[in-house]
Amino acid sequence: MHELSAAALAERLVNGETTSVEVTQASLDRIDAVDGAVHAFLHVDAEGALAAAADVDARRAAGENLPTLAGIPVAVKDVLTTIGQPTTCGSRMLEGWVPPYDATVVARLRAAGLPILGKTNMDEFAMGSSTEHSAYGATRNPWDTTRIPGGSGGGSAAAVAAFETPLAVGTDTGGSIRQPGAMTGTVGVKPTYGGVSRYGLVAMASSLDQAGPVTRTVLDAALLHEVIAGHDPRDSTSLKAAVPPVVEAARTGDVSGLRIGIVTELGGEGFQPEVRARFDEAVELLTGAGAEVVEVSCPSFVHGVAAYYLVMPSEVSSNLAKFDAMRYGLRVAPDGVEAPSAEQVMAASRDAGFGDEVKRRIVLGTYALSSGYYDAYYGSAQKVRTLIARDFAAAFEQVDVLVSPTAPTTAWPLGEKLDDPLAMYLADVATIPANLAGVPGLSLPVGLADGLPAGFQVLAPALADDRLYTVGAALERLLEQRWGGPFSQHAPDLTEVAR
Amino acid sequence: MPSPLSREDVAHLANLARIDLSEAELERLGAELPQILDHVAAVQEAAAADVEAMSHPQPISNVFREDVVTPGLTPDEALSGAPESEEQRFSVPRILGEE
């Protein structure tokens, strides 16, 4: 049961072959069996999930017409606020904090009848590419538990890859949905900026953050996308536009005549040869299915990482100022100070509550925004952002979608890049441009490279998210024909590792 | 190799950011930040002076809504995460100096 897709489970629920309580219990049992080896979850709410499941079952039994995914369990990245469940953002700063309100994404999951299994692990405040920066310990990659699952949303990706849940929600600021997707062989989508409400998403970089689906199939991602997307008056950057027809695109998956551009700058030097080989094979499959494939140059993308590591820390230094030890979160008194001032308590609490990577980015952002350096750093980065958006605009004049490997390499061993922040940052080279320009992106698994999952990225113009699903569904179908079944059938048996 | 920031430089930034960093942290960041800055400084050559700055993916400004009263958090809910509270208020350490 736990290996079925959400779409398959939904069909069984409608046909009365199973109940939401059974499906939810199967996920909870699987979490019990394997999460000791994976550590995808920071909090599991068995009671709440089963109660929501029982409610859906009762409504279905009463003949109520329910949303497609009603009764299918979901896991939520611990950066989205949840009434009744802790929201820590992977930080000591928010240890034990239970928010008094739901994120809009969470409210929509509840309204659509999805039982929420719990909260998934992440790099502290979503800062990292390996989930090793969680204050509560690293998540492990289900394909090889000595390796990282990617980040920052390694918990959501690993939970889905380990069959602990069919569905999860992640957030993506520079690749935190797509890069873990590539590392764990799962499907991850960053919708168009503004497509999904950020209300209740604890902000890292407000002009880049976007929540999206993490699943094992392209259709499941589209179904979840449809549940969480749409205008929200509580988020002033939420777009007043119709949700693109993502489910229809995922069901059809017809790429004949579609113009696909391979990004010249993303896939050459620094990319693992086997990752590139899986990418090239996937492109051949799309060509065989009738897509027109050309190469497209986006010359400013090479400056994406540099621009991102100025824009993002600048916004971080401002956004994380709210953790001031006054209204919620950790408050510690400085050592050896009698009757400390609010400011001294603030500084001591922020030192105790934040981890190394968060401090590094706050200080970096403070520097980039400080008088005398603002124009040279933050100002120049904003100009590069314009150039990257122009590259996208020019490319989408020629082609319907752009494609690249999602990440330069497969999952690396735990600890390998922890002492080299710059090397860690470069893991996001292919995913960052989409965040800077606000366009949507999808990653799906295209096979094993040197024994580990490799990801394929599709990028589309803003509000053309449906094209991601068209290409993703077509490629998934062609690959499954080649493999004789879904990619996830190759995943190792974790119950042995957990024992 | 880029020159490290001085201990005083990093301490100044940490003070602006209100983080009471330890000596060891000041030293480590003083060595790490120049390496990162050396990499990101590439943006200075990448963009010509006449390129306009982009702060946000959407060309939006001043999003207004009707001024309608809607239910909010109760005082108990708003204070539920407070380190300390008193009489429906956040209780904080002294905010004025000694002098």
Interface contact B57-A194, CB threshold 8 A = yes
pLDDT of residue B65: 84
Residues linked to residue A44 through DSSP beta bridges, in sequence order: A118
Q: What is the pLDDT of residues A222-238, one digit of tens each?
A: 999 999 999 999 999 99
Question: Is residue B92 in a domain?
Answer: no
SS3 A46: helix
Interface contact B25-A359, CB threshold 8 A = yes
Average pLDDT over residues A325-337: 95
Most confident region among A336-350, B36-50, B60-74 by mean pLDDT: A336-350
Q: What is the pLDDT of residues A415-453, one digit of tens each?
A: 999 989 888 999 999 999 999 999 999 999 999 999 999
Question: Is residue B25 in a domain?
Answer: yes
How many C-alpha atoms does B98 have within 13 Å on its Cβ side?
4
Q: What is the pLDDT of residues A388-407, one digit of tens each?
A: 999 999 999 999 999 999 99
Q: Which two tokens stand for residue A249?
A: 């695109």
pLDDT of residue B1: 46
Task: Give the closest of A193, A328, A360 to B81, CB-based.
Answer: A328
Q: What is the pLDDT of residues A454-473, one digit of tens each?
A: 999 999 999 999 999 999 99
Task: Confirm if A116 and A81 have CB atoms less than 8 A apart.
Answer: no
DSSP per-residue letters across A191-242 = PPTTSB--TTB--SSTTT--EEEEESSHHHHHHHHHHHBS--TT-TTS--SP
Task: Give the closest of A344, A366, A438 to B57, CB-based.
Answer: A438
A152 belongs to the catalytic site: yes
Task: Confirm if A203 and A209 have CB atoms less than 8 A apart.
Answer: yes
Length of chain B: 99
pLDDT of residue B5: 83
Question: Is residue B58 in a domain?
Answer: no
User: What DSSP character marks residue A144?
Assistant: B
Question: Is residue B72 in a domain?
Answer: no
Asked if the peptide bond before residue B3 counts as cis, ω within 30 degrees of 0, the response is: no
Average pLDDT over residues A298-306: 97
Interface contact A422-B14, CB threshold 8 A = no
A349 belongs to the catalytic site: no
A322 belongs to the catalytic site: no
Interface contact A342-B95, CB threshold 8 A = yes
- Cα angle A197, A199, A205; round to 5: 85
Q: Which two tokens stand for residue A450?
A: 């040197």
Interface contact B13-A98, CB threshold 8 A = no
Question: Is residue B60 in a domain?
Answer: no
Task: Give the closest of A327, A356, A389 to B82, CB-based.
Answer: A327
Average pLDDT over residues B9-18: 96
Question: Is residue B24 in a domain?
Answer: yes
Question: Is residue B61 in a domain?
Answer: no
Q: What ipTM was estimated for this complex?
A: 0.94
Domain containing B32 equals 7-46
Does the pLDDT at position B98 exceed 70?
Answer: no
Does the pLDDT at position A297 exceed 70?
Answer: yes
pLDDT of residue A499: 57
Q: Which two tokens stand for residue A78?
A: 């611990």
Please, which pLDDT band fits residue A253 given cuts at 50, 70 and 90? very high
Question: Is residue B13 in a domain?
Answer: yes
Q: Which two tokens stand for residue A139?
A: 């998540």
Does the pLDDT at position A38 exceed 70?
Answer: yes
Residues linked to residue A414 through DSSP beta bridges, in sequence order: none
Does the pLDDT at position B2 exceed 60?
Answer: no
How far CA A428 is from CA of A39, A211, A435, in Å, comes to 23, 17, 11
User: What DSSP character marks residue A442?
Assistant: E
Interface contact A380-B44, CB threshold 8 A = yes
Q: Which of A130, A152, A317, A443 is catalytic?
A: A152
End-to-end CA gap in chain A: 21
Instruction: Report the C-alpha gap between A444 and A453 in whole angstroms.
Output: 10
Q: Which of A176, A349, A443, A488 is catalytic?
A: A176
pLDDT of residue A242: 97
Q: Which of A274, A280, A312 is nearest to A425 (CA)?
A: A312
Burial A46-61 (b: 16+ CB within 10 A, else e): bebbbebbbbbbebbe
What domain count does chain B have? Answer: 1
Q: What is the pLDDT of residues A356-400, one digit of tens each?
A: 999 999 999 999 999 888 999 999 999 999 999 999 999 999 999
Does the pLDDT at position A43 exceed 70?
Answer: yes
Nearest residue of B to residue A383, measured between CA atoms: B53
Interface contact B43-A233, CB threshold 8 A = no
Q: What is the pLDDT of residues A103-155, one digit of tens each?
A: 999 999 999 999 999 999 999 999 999 999 999 999 999 999 999 999 999 99
Q: Residue A285 corresponds to which amino acid? A: L
* Average pLDDT score over chain A: 97
Please, which pLDDT band fits residue B60 given cuts at 50, 70 and 90? confident
Predicted TM-score (pTM) of this structure: 0.97
DSSP per-residue letters across A76-134 = EETTB--TTS---TT-GGGTT---SS--HHHHHHHHTT--EEEEE--SGGG--SSSTT-
Say how many CB pairs under 8 Å bridge A and B: 175
Which single residue is written with the structure tokens 């400056």? Answer: A303
Task: Give the closest of A99, A331, A437 to B83, CB-based.
Answer: A331
Task: Confirm if A90 and A170 have CB atoms less than 8 A apart.
Answer: no
How many C-alpha atoms does A414 have within 13 Å on its Cβ side?
17
* Closest CA–CA distance from residue A327 to any residue of chain B (Å): 5
pLDDT of residue A498: 62
Give the CATH number of the domain where residue B15 resides.
Answer: 1.10.20.60
Q: What is the pLDDT of residues A265-278, one digit of tens each?
A: 999 889 999 999 99
pLDDT of residue B49: 83
List chain B residues with CB under 8 Å of A367: 13, 33, 37
Average pLDDT over residues A191-203: 98
